[in-house]
Structure 1
Amino acid sequence: MLFAHDTEAALRGCAALVNTAQTLPTDTDDLQTLDELDAFVQEWQWTGSRAHDAAELEAVRALRPRLRELWAVDTEGAVELVNALLAEADALPQLVRHDGWSWHLHATPPEAPLATRMAVEAAMAMVDVLRADELERLRTCAADDCEDVVVDLSKNRSKRYCDGGCGNRANVAAYRARKAATD
């Protein structure tokens, strides 16, 4: 494990949230309804209070482009964005233990708005990434037809494709090209 468990979970959750947005004409926006937000929150085990309203959905949707910036900026830009996210939320890190998780950091109260908790969780995870000088582990999918973001948590820094099947498609295409060249 490269980072603490909660950091890795937050990085994966942040990437998943960013990847719900439509980035290419062939993409779909996967957070258009409250039901889709509820499913996302449940899948990524977000805790704390929920408003379950259109304003909450819009706040989470509006957060995605800001978080996507973390994959596009250099270290200085990432530090600036992380500091802004933490300052906007008046983040106050505290050790907590709940829902089967061991001690980990939260920097917002459970009743803070969902989008605020998501932003701060991503920022706190990025603190660890930046302190470890591991920003290059944040990438964009290597597939030509994909703009999804990738968090490379592999030991050998080899993850190139998103979790949407792009690696499989690339491998099949390479195999078919090799096969066609030998026929």
Structure 2
Amino acid sequence: MLFAPDTEESLNFVVALANTTPGSSRSGEDELATVEQLATLLTRFTYTGRIDHDEAELDEVRETRTLLRSVWGLDRDDAVEVVNRMLRDAKALPFLTRHDGLDWHMHATSPDAPLAERIRAEVALAFTDVIRMNEMSRLRICGADDCDGLVLDLSRNGSKRFCTVRCGNRMNMIAFRERKAGA
């Protein structure tokens, strides 16, 4: 599956952000509980512009995490309503820009807008690509029985089932033991 680079970057950010929740994080705990943890997450992704590094911003990003996680599991038609609302709420005015060594890509809000608003607007733009290409099936929940991590399937054949190799290995081991016990 081939999306524009900024679409892939935004979708990968959603996965990283959403997979900080207790049910899907590696530690099993909320990995977005502190301002420092948010700052660490933002070092892995390019978010330029205003970043306040305070508790209010952390709370807004955590609310955004919940919203984005909910869109991930929607069907195409239901996702449209939420995505349109995110764009409207941000008063999004998409524009092309280059910065920080990145080639032309889309932004939809001012660099002075609050971080959570910029996240919602840019992810909404990414979701519009997914919806227009009829590829919502590429946005999945982990196939492991005990994990609710998000999975972005960019594979050619659309067969990715697990959020991490760890979940895949665990489920393969369970299936192997079940087959061995049945033999």
TM-score calculated relative to the size of structure 2: 0.92
**1:6-50 deviation per Cα after TM superposition (whole angstroms, max 9, x unaligned):** 1011101012111112237x8311100011000001112222111
1:3 aligns with 2:33: no
Deviation at 1:177, TM superposition (A): 4.4
Aligned with 1:35: secondary structure? helix
Residues 25-174 of structure 1 aligned to structure 2 (within 5 Å):
27-163=28-164, 165-174=166-175
Deviation at 1:101, TM superposition (A): 1.0
The runs of 4+ residues in structure 1 deviating greater than 2 Å are 171-182
Instruction: Indicate the residue corresponding to 2:12 in structure 1.
Output: 12
**1:57-110 deviation per Cα after TM superposition (whole angstroms, max 9, x unaligned):** 000001111111112222121000000000000011000011111100001111
Alignment: residue pair count: 181
Deviates more, 1:163-172 or 1:101-110: 163-172
**1:129-149 deviation per Cα after TM superposition (whole angstroms, max 9, x unaligned):** 000000111110000000111
CA distance in 1, matches of 2:123, 2:96: 16
Instruction: Indicate the residue corresponding to 2:23 in structure 1.
Output: 23
CA distance in 1, matches of 2:172, 2:165: 14
- Segments of 5+ residues of structure 2 without an aligned counterpart are none
- Segments of 5+ residues of structure 1 without an aligned counterpart are none
Aligned with 2:53: secondary structure? coil
Q: Name the Cα RMSD after superposition.
A: 1.8
CA distance in 1, matches of 2:14, 2:123: 6
Deviation at 1:119, TM superposition (A): 0.6
CA distance in 1, matches of 2:113, 2:173: 45
Deviates more, 1:45-54 or 1:167-176: 167-176
Amino acid at match of 1:145: D
TM-score calculated relative to the size of structure 1: 0.92
Deviates more, 1:165-174 or 1:109-118: 165-174
CA distance in 2, matches of 1:23, 1:120: 26
Aligned with 1:103: secondary structure? strand
**1:123-173 deviation per Cα after TM superposition (whole angstroms, max 9, x unaligned):** 000000000000111110000000111111111000000036201222233
Deviation at 1:179, TM superposition (A): 5.2
Amino acid at match of 2:133: A
Amino acid at match of 1:8: E
CA distance in 1, matches of 2:111, 2:43: 15
